[in-house]
Structure 1
């Protein structure tokens, strides 16, 4: 049975051990030509207030999530990490895609959550 697809995210500040509030997030559709399809800022829980792709506007394809963590951490220039870009492939009927970003000023990791 095919499940409606959607995309959400959240950001965790692993250096401080808390959700990362105020991180600017962009979602880019990479095909046929790169196009920004959503912008949001994380709330007090480190999440965006709405899905970046809701089921009603979901299109399968190649995307890139861009997180402005350099500004969030406020480190002097040049920053080791400025924008973390995560390329993701999204397929129809695969249900909810949740992509958390765990980050510090010096590192990041991610996974497909639920």
Structure 2
């Protein structure tokens, strides 16, 4: 089947695009390709981008909450080491952890949940 479209970017609303872009630049090693007061974008492999757009009145998602329907999963070599490094960058680890040692849920500095896993 021929593709109709390819994912180009995942974009998160947030209160401070520049600081959230910096956090994810350190997480991924991706290069910042655009930054303004209202938006910032990182470029990754194969043209994939991660974007951050300023949202006035932003309310962070809550974890665990069934209305949180989107999150990013990151593959890591060592779960414990990656968790420690990400927390040092500003992530936090919520109490609820449904991964049973297979993955860990963390919250970025804006409160978005994301997962790290060794399962690739």
TM-score by length of 2: 0.29
Higher fraction of strand: 1
TM-score by length of 1: 0.30
Higher fraction of helix: 2
RCO comparison, higher one (Cα < 8 Å, 6+): 1
